[in-house]
Amino acid sequence: MNTQTYRVKGMHCASCSSVIEKAFKKVPGVQSAEVNYGTEKAKGSFDSSKVSLDDLSKHIEPLGYSLEIPATAEEMGMSVDEHAEHLGVNQSKKEKLAEVLNMKTKVISAIPLAIIASFVMSWEILSKYNILPMMSSTLEEFFHHLLPILATYMLFVVGKPYLLGFYR
């Protein structure tokens, strides 16, 4: 029996970890599986004569997830000691930085859209109580066409990871 811990790519919520755990437990040869969303890792006991790490990864790929299979020291051109020192750090650090940069870009693009939407909704509410003057009909018509476009962007671009998780 082989017990290993591997990093899982593609998890976006706690539900994802539950889906992956159930998928692993259905694979013949897997004794136990635990998936943690917080650490983005899967720990499993499996019979390496019946199932390989590639088989496990291929089993969850249709669901939109994958196991990060660590490179060997020979593939990286390092000694075993150097490889052990850099194993988890270099492989996942670049991916984490790319993921954070991607999320940062989405948040920065969403802030002006949220401000515009809040401004328009506040103006409409305050104008009903005669605190602000009513919007002109042209401006009101423009915003009533613009707000659904902004909401669509927020839903499908910023919320893409959650929609993909729901679809899977």
Residue 115: per-residue pLDDT: 95
Closest CA to 132 of 142, 121, 143, 141: 121
Residue 149: per-residue pLDDT: 94
Residue 100: per-residue pLDDT: 86
Mean pLDDT (the chain, rounded): 84
Count Cβ atoms below 10 Å from residue 25 Cβ, excluding itself.
Answer: 12
* CA 61 centroid distance within chain: 14
Instruction: Break the chain into its structural domains and give their ranges.
Output: 2-69, 96-167
pLDDT at 85 over 60: no
CB 23 within 8 A of CB 11: no
pLDDT at 84 over 70: no
CATH 3.30.70.100 holds for 2-69: yes
Higher pLDDT, 68 or 88: 68
pLDDT digits (tens, 9 = 90+) for 5-15: 888 888 878 88
Closest CA to 92 of 44, 37, 41: 41
pLDDT at 35 over 90: yes
pLDDT digits (tens, 9 = 90+) for 110-163: 999 999 999 999 999 999 999 999 999 999 999 999 999 999 999 998 888 778
Residue 151: per-residue pLDDT: 93
* Share of residues in the chain with pLDDT > 90 (%): 36
Q: What is d(CA 150, CA 10) in angstroms, rounded to the nearest whole number?
A: 26
pLDDT at 87 over 60: no
Using DSSP, state whether 135 is helix, strand or coil: coil
pLDDT band at 74 (very low <50, low <70, confident <90, very high): low
* Share of residues in the chain with pLDDT > 70 (%): 86
Q: What is the CA radius of gyration of the chain?
A: 24
